[in-house]
Amino acid sequence: MTKFQLRVNNKTLEVGWSIRLVADFEPVAGCGAEKCWVRVHSVNSEGGTTRYLGVVEDYLTYTKAHGMTQGFMIEFGQENVSEIWDRGTPRPSA
């Protein structure tokens, strides 16, 4: 069912942070990637590996292509984060 692949970055995250993921998928109408903001919901560190569970905060355009919608719970790693929102500044638009 999963039709997307996440891009790579490497930062340590905390619950409550907003991070940006970029989902790569088979191109639709000339577009093969979509950015979205995700709020970190939980952190699971086991066996030297850290995985995160987050909730998609944005309305997305290519939901049929990648399968994600606003409110979608997604598991990801630090390497998939393309941007971290610093709460001291306005969040960039998607």
pTM: 0.80
| Phi/psi-derived region of residue 38, left when phi > 0, alpha when psi is between -120 and 50, beta in every other case | beta
Yes or no: say if 42 and 53 are a contact pair by the CB < 8 Å rule.
yes
pLDDT tens per residue across span 58-88: 999 999 999 999 999 999 988 888 888 766 5
pLDDT for the residue 76:
93
CA distance 66 to 75: 14
